[in-house]
Amino acid sequence: MDKNRVSVDQLSLMYLLLLMGGKFLSLPSILASDVGHDSWLAMAFSFMWDGVCLCMLLWAIKINRNAKMDIGAILDKSVSKPVAKVIFVIFFVIFVLRTNILLASTYKMFSVTFDVSTNWIVYLIPVGALAIFAIAKGFNAIARTAQLFFALVVISVIALLVSPLSEVKLTELLPVAEAGWGKVLWTSYFRSFWFSDYIFVYFVLDGIKIKKHVFAPMLTSFAVGALLAITLNAVFVAIFGHFAPDFDMAMSKIGVFSAASTTNGRWDWLTLSIWLVSVFLKMIVFIFCAYKCVEKIVGAHFVKVNWISISVVMLTLLLPLFVTAEDILNTVVKWGLIPFTLVQYVLPLLMPLFTKTAVFKSEATDVSPRKVSAVSAREAQHE
Amino acid sequence: MKISFEKINALWRGQDDFRVRLLNCGIDLKAVCLDTMCDDAKVSDFVLQPLAYVNDVLSIEDVERRLAVGTGVRKPPNLYSAIEDFTNGYTLIFDGEDNCLSVDTRTVVGRSIAEPPTSMVMRGPREGFVEDIKVNLTLLRKRLKTPNLKVVNLTVGKYTNTAVAVCYIEGITQQRIVEDAVQTLESVKVDGVLDSSYLARYLDVNKTWLFRRVGSTEKPDIAVGKMLEGRIAIVVDGSPMVLTLPYLFVEDMQSPGDYYENSSMTTLSRTLRFISVIASVLLPALYVCLQVYNYQIIPLRFLITVLNASEAIPFSPLTEMILVLIVFDILREANLRMPSAVGISLSLVGAIVLGDAAVQAGLLGAPAVMIGALSGIGLFTMPDNTLILSLLRLAVTFIGGVMGLMGVIISTMAIVVYLASMQDYKTPFLAPFAPDIPEDRQDSVKQVPVPRMKRRPKSIPNENSQRRG
């Protein structure tokens, strides 16, 4: 069994969890500080861009369904090896930074909300150990874990959404686009670093088992995930109004005004804990992708966990020891906005073209080892 | 190696139960057997009597024809085979030219068929496997009256020469699984196989250190049920536990009586078992980390009760809970190894005297004892995995106590990743949930009525997915 093979269904469930994981930590307050109560609009625009890019990526997956080439092979054949390496370096930086931001946010959530204060290294060790363990077991095991937790996480998010509904004042969301459409669009672009969760798909391109449809399950997941994220963001702003920028741990603060929680206990925290599974899954997936980036950069294929590569990834997660999450967002992400946008939003648009080129070149090179493996993969699929 | 009387004689000469009988029935014959392994009546009826009254035997082939009264007559191909037959209770007959014939004169020693103590049912068959492989195969054949029931016979163990039978239904079971299992069993290099659980370790392809990967049952109806789903059954001589392969985690939640009850009741029971198992592993950890870190989650009145009860306890909540769990595990271990009469007294001493005294003395809080007991009872809903679950419970409690909710989440995820990664014989361990196989949910936690189960589980590779025809 190829331990990194996943079905489209598994991929779409995982994508839905990744869409929800991490979107309700500091992002709502950051967006609120940028555009006030129009933050949900900025989020909606970001998701619209995501949707277009996702469609193009899915098209590329369809083109690649028989060739089963990995992202390394596609980029090598279409844009040349040096350019491919540069793209992987940018990807590596994105994954590492996003994991760092997620880690920093959950670290803050645990210390502020759950009263578990510790130092960064002690916090990183269990998370890193879990990620390494999951990478060793393969992406398939991660996808199955997502499948198993899927229902629980979705129920917990819906419960988090429904429980504070009585406190929601929709008038807080009016007037629409008060900050101005231009500013909303700019924020949507400026904060794009937080979106484009589909980028993990690049690193499992060669292992996607396609039975019938690709578009339907992935786009359904995307629609549901985006809808839930936008709604929760709107609920957050509608509850806190002008104070929204001051509440940076959105999810844990949503139930704070519920009178019932004082006597009945903060049950929303239990649902919050279940939702945190999706955040940890997101971190694992991003660490997996960062590890794969190292693999592509050094031009190797690791059958077992390569300790040097995984150590490199883990070392980069010590970044918050030296720079705060805010500094990362305000400096590194700001400087890297253009290269990040290129791989997050331009590369997917070109992926069908690149994949077609790579498939064409691969077929032209007669009896290449990759073609042989692709043919045998096809035969195995038929069997 | 060539078979010869001299070699057999040299190997067993001097043993009290080694019997040699010289016969002349036209040619000189020697019959040898192990008295302790043979049935005297069979030796007399199938070997001695047919040869005692004739004097016109020409060759060993002639003897083979004349011994037609015995059903198990064969010519061992080599010395090892002859020794194997001999040690199993066959009588060997040699002519002057060391041609050999083995006649089945095995004695049946062992208990009679009874209801297995580990799988008692309210409804359904009460027959259980015994230690004798022949009887166990008979129990399978009795239920599968089809020529498609195939048995591959093997011998495993250098000194024990234990007979092993791999049983499957041709046309249902995927041949590759049979081949894999037979290949694995043939490659086993071990001094002895004293129980089927020895072989279970070898059949676990990935050598997992937590959770068993091979099913076992003491009931022939269950074994046949599993074979009808495409699994293979491995019967080992000397063991009442028949192994089944491939194995799914969900099988641990299924009880032998499930298929003889109303499906709604079965669904309810399985749901309770499922909840119990999860609660057993997570409840102590959640109790500790909620009490230590996140008491806000606990409803106010409940929190006041808990705090009042544990106010004077000299230990931290984590130490208190770990103590309760360890005491519970000690009691369980002691109970398992005690004769049943003493076991009841031990349970009483443990539950009433020890628990109550500890609470009265203020060493342990009543809520912790209650949670520990509830969790301990819950473990027994999955009796085959009690020890593993108990170990996981201790680990998760410790991590939860140290790291709070984050520890519980991370350790739970690690367990799930581990379980999700397991796949033997092309069967994912967590099927039909991860990967999700909707068709197979018909007999997972939920059970649909038997008439509606028209297809065999997809998670178990099979050659015929239709249950009928």
User: What token pair was written down for B120?
Assistant: 């008692």
Range B313-338 average pLDDT:
88
User: Which long-range CB contacts under 8 A does B292-296 form with residues at least 24 apart?
Assistant: B292/B316, B292/B317, B292/B318, B292/B401, B292/B404, B293/A114, B293/A115, B293/A116, B293/B404, B293/B405, B294/A114, B294/A115, B294/A266, B294/A269, B294/B404, B294/B405, B296/A265, B296/A266, B296/A269
d(CA A220, CA A228) in angstroms, rounded, equals 12
Determine, for residues A266 and B426 on separate chains, whether the beta-carbon distance falls below 8 Å.
no
Cβ proximity of A221 and A16 under 8 Å: yes
In a domain, A93, yes or no: yes
pTM: 0.88
Q: What is the pLDDT of residues A293-348, one digit of tens each?
A: 999 999 888 888 899 999 999 999 999 888 888 888 888 888 888 999 999 999 99
Range B309-331 average pLDDT:
90
Question: Which residues of A fall within a CB distance of 8 Å from B430?
Answer: 144, 148
**A66-83: b (≥16 Cβ within 10 Å) or e:** ebbbbbbbbbbbbbeeee
Q: What is the pLDDT of residues B144-165, one digit of tens each?
A: 999 999 999 999 998 998 999 9
**B257: three-class secondary structure by DSSP:** helix
In chain A the first and final C-alpha atoms are separated, in Å, by 15
Q: At what angle are helices A267-298 and B405-421 packed, to 10 degrees?
A: 50
Nearest to B417 among A115, A133, A263 (CB): A133
Q: What is the pLDDT of residues B1-54, one digit of tens each?
A: 788 888 888 998 888 889 999 888 888 889 999 998 999 998 988 888 888 888
- Residue A207 vs residue A378, higher pLDDT: A207
**Chain B residue with minimum CA distance to A113:** B294
**Mutation choice for A interface testing from B174, B286, B318, B417 by most A CBs within 10 A:** B417
Determine, for residues B417 and A10 on separate chains, whether the beta-carbon distance falls below 8 Å.
no
Of A64-68, A279-283, B151-155, B242-246, the least confident: A64-68
Determine, for residues B403 and A147 on separate chains, whether the beta-carbon distance falls below 8 Å.
no
In a domain, A134, yes or no: yes
Question: Which residues of B fall within a CB distance of 8 Å from A145?
Answer: 413, 416-417, 420, 434
Q: Nearest 5°: CA angle at B192, between B189 and B198?
A: 80
Determine, for residues A265 and B297 on separate chains, whether the beta-carbon distance falls below 8 Å.
yes
Residue B136 has pLDDT above 70, yes or no: yes
CA distances from B439 to A198, B426, B457 (A): 29, 17, 7
d(CA B140, CA B145) in angstroms, rounded, equals 9
Dihedral sign, CA of B341, B344, B349, B354?
positive
- Residue B358 vs residue A285, higher pLDDT: A285
Determine, for residues A114 and B404 on separate chains, whether the beta-carbon distance falls below 8 Å.
yes
What is the pLDDT at residue B169? 95
Cβ proximity of B180 and B425 under 8 Å: yes
Residue A383 has pLDDT above 50, yes or no: no
Shortest Cα distance, chain A CAs vs residue B265, angstroms: 24
In a domain, A175, yes or no: yes
In a domain, A34, yes or no: yes
Nearest to B405 among A114, A262, A281 (CB): A114
Domain range for A49? 6-382
Range B311-328 average pLDDT:
91
Residue A379 has pLDDT above 70, yes or no: no
Q: Is A265 on the interface with B (CB under 8 A)?
A: yes
Of A213-222, B333-342, B403-412, B430-439, the least confident: B333-342
**Mutation choice for A interface testing from B206, B398, B405 by most A CBs within 10 A:** B405
CB atoms within 10 A of CB B352: 10
Shortest Cα distance, chain B CAs vs residue A364, angstroms: 35
* % of chain B surpassing 70 pLDDT: 98
What is the pLDDT at residue A259? 56
Shortest Cα distance, chain B CAs vs residue A58, angstroms: 22
Determine, for residues B423 and A1 on separate chains, whether the beta-carbon distance falls below 8 Å.
yes
Q: What residues does each domain of chain B span?
A: 5-104, 133-247, 260-421
In a domain, A131, yes or no: yes
Q: What letter would DSSP give residue B89?
A: T
Assembly ipTM: 0.90
Structural domain total, chain A = 1
Residue A377 has pLDDT above 60, yes or no: no
Provide the mean pLDDT of chain B: 89
What is the pLDDT at residue A376? 56
In a domain, A1, yes or no: no
Question: Which residues of A fall within a CB distance of 8 Å from B300?
Answer: 262-265
What is the pLDDT at residue B321? 94
CATH number where A223 lies: 1.20.1740.10
